[in-house]
Homo-oligomer: A and B are copies of this chain.
């Protein structure tokens, strides 16, 4: 006789927590994978030391902030925190998840925990609202963990934090040909602002300003 509460399929446990300086090697690998996915490796010049020296210099949410998505085959402990109490979720998938990069993304070997994705965000500001918001620079889930709702979890975690802090907006950008992403973001309640274009001053064009007189 099978008890009614018996698990069916393949259970998996996820956690979204604040990243710490010791997570930099994982964050660096994830950013590089994102550059490969976007075919933009020619623009990628981040190093672990560059990340380590520019992230984690402010309390969480006040400046650049990283949430890490972790996955385990065992439940995570419930740990409250004054900064951010991690989100925990239990999943049940029809098929097992094979992670070919398990070894390089193991964050807690004793508990079978791997890093599966991240979101990096920071405060922005709306003068029309006279309120801060959050801008999401990157949201990324590793290939073998996609199409399982983890991207939605990461975006939801940022949106919930924004509401909690009384912020007015969460914003990010999407490539106009990425119809899957656009559809997903619209389902999440976002408007796609068709008329705005991003302007970027960088590289030599930016450096030249050191010599420009007013």
Question: Contact residues of A with B, CB < 8 Å?
Answer: 16, 31, 34-35, 40, 43-47, 50-51, 54, 58, 62-64, 87-89, 120, 122-133, 135, 137-138, 153, 156-157, 159-160, 162-164, 168-177, 182, 185, 188-202, 205-210, 212, 214
Which residues of B have CB within 8 Å of A62? 58, 63
Of the candidates B126, B163, B185, B206, the one whose C-beta lies within 8 Å of that of A207 is B163
Could you tell me the distance between the alpha carbons of A176 and B193 in the complex, rounded to whole angstroms? 11
A sample of 11 more A-B contacts (CB under 8 A), given A46-B129, A170-B201, A182-B197, is A47-B130, A54-B132, A122-B124, A159-B209, A164-B210, A169-B202, A171-B199, A171-B200, A173-B197, A188-B201, A196-B197
Could you tell me the distance between the alpha carbons of A176 and B210 in the complex, rounded to whole angstroms? 29
Assess the A130–B50 pair: CB atoms within 8 A: yes
Knowing A174-B199, A206-B169 are in contact, say whether A45-B137 is a contact too (CB < 8 A).
Answer: no
Assess the A200–B169 pair: CB atoms within 8 A: yes
Assess the B129–A135 pair: CB atoms within 8 A: no
Which residues of B have CB within 8 Å of A169? 200-202, 206
Which residues of B have CB within 8 Å of A137? 124-127
Knowing A123-B122, A162-B206, A206-B170 are in contact, say whether A51-B130 is a contact too (CB < 8 A).
Answer: yes
Could you tell me the distance between the alpha carbons of A171 and B205 in the complex, rounded to whole angstroms? 12
Assess the B191–A200 pair: CB atoms within 8 A: yes
Assess the A156–B214 pair: CB atoms within 8 A: yes
Which residues of B have CB within 8 Å of A190? 199-201, 205
Of the candidates B127, B193, B199, the one whose C-beta lies within 8 Å of that of A197 is B193
Assess the A189–B160 pair: CB atoms within 8 A: no
Most chain B CB within 10 A, of A88, A127, A132, A153, is at A127
Knowing A130-B45, A130-B54 are in contact, say whether A205-B176 is a contact too (CB < 8 A).
Answer: no
